Amino acid sequence: MLEVGINHYLILSAALFCIGLVGVLLRKNALVILMCIELMLNGVNLSFVAFGYYYSNLNGFIIVFFVMTVAACEAAVGLALAVAILKRFKEINIKNFELLKG
Amino acid sequence: MMINSAEVLFYILGLMTLIAGVGVVAMQNPIYSALCLVMTMIGISGLFFTLEAYFVAGVQLIVYAGAVTVLFVMVVMLFDLRKEVSSALGGGINTAAKAVGVGIILGLILSAISLSKLGTSTMPLKGLGASSIKEVAVQLFTKYIFGFEIISVLLLLVVVGAVGLARSRGGTHA
């Protein structure tokens, strides 16, 4: 059990994903929700790299590269939206995102 | 019992990552959440190093622990976010239902991992080693060249879109 195999990395990845999911569902602050989405994406990245290492397949490493880029784009657009909402409503509660039309 | 240094490294980094991940969700102040996020990213980068994914680990440090976190911290510092701390958590039966749902998902994933035949080999089939960086570059610029170019278009689109959104006054369309 102490010997680290792919199962250990997969369990850690699942735990990170579920921590992020709890944050997305329970928090009301839109900034923290974006951070928790990053947490979920990183959990999935960890499982990709673990599979790529234990099965000697480079596709796992390359897909992580693409996921990181798309995640950075998503964070930039999400933060721009959060700033726009913050200017309009003077707070960043997620309930203000119900109606995105200005 | 012999304890390998790689195992010690895995447990230390994994514990650090999990504690910092819980901190992201549990901290009331968004700036502490952002700092916990940095710790999580550094821990995951270390885990990538233990998996010999050196290029991915470096990109993780630069892109996440560097750029994305700076974005978050800048937005947190631009605005006074202290007064909405009270609305951090919803209450009541709604919260309990969400927690139970996440618990069911976690149980499903863990049972799927334990039921699969993945755990039979603890050693990699064939070590990739330091040559993996060169191989990743070759694959990225031959087999995945189309995805690479599409990513560059996406980045340009996001730069224009983010500037346009952030420049608008009040509503989300100027």
pLDDT, position B135: 82
For A95, the closest chain B residue by CA position comes to: B87
For B155-166, the pLDDT digits (tens) are: 999 999 988 887
**Dihedral angle computed from the Cα positions of residues B105, B110, B116 and B121, in that order, rounded to the nearest 10 degrees:** 150
At position A46, the amino acid (one-letter code) is: L
What mean pLDDT, rounded, does chain A reach?
85
* E strand segments, A1-102: none
pLDDT, position B173: 47
H/E element holding B144? none
Distance of alpha carbon B35 from alpha carbon B15, whole angstroms: 17
For A102, the closest chain B residue by CA position comes to: B171
Band of residue B174 on the pLDDT scale cut at 50, 70, 90: very low
Give A 34-53 residues with CB within 8 A of chain B: 34-36, 38-39, 42, 45-46, 49-50, 52-53
pLDDT, position B170: 53
Residue B24, token pair as written in the block: 């992201």
Query: What pTM does this model have?
Result: 0.86
For B97-129, the pLDDT digits (tens) are: 888 888 999 999 888 888 887 655 556 655 566
For B46-78, the pLDDT digits (tens) are: 999 888 888 889 999 998 888 898 988 888 888
Chain B within 8 Å of A57 (Cβ-Cβ)? no
pLDDT, position B2: 60
pLDDT(A6) > 70: yes
pLDDT, position B129: 62
A interface mutation test: which of B7, B131, B165 has the most A CBs within 10 A? B165
pLDDT, position A42: 94
For A13-58, the pLDDT digits (tens) are: 999 999 999 999 888 888 889 999 999 999 999 999 998 888 888 8
Q: Which ipTM was obtained for this model?
A: 0.89
**Dihedral angle computed from the Cα positions of residues B136, B139, B144 and B149, in that order, rounded to the nearest 10 degrees:** 70
Residue A29, token pair as written in the block: 């602050």
Quick one: average pLDDT of B4-11? Answer: 84
Distance of alpha carbon A72 from alpha carbon B66, whole angstroms: 11
Question: Which residues face A29 on adjacent strands?
Answer: A93
Share of chain A above pLDDT 90, in %: 40
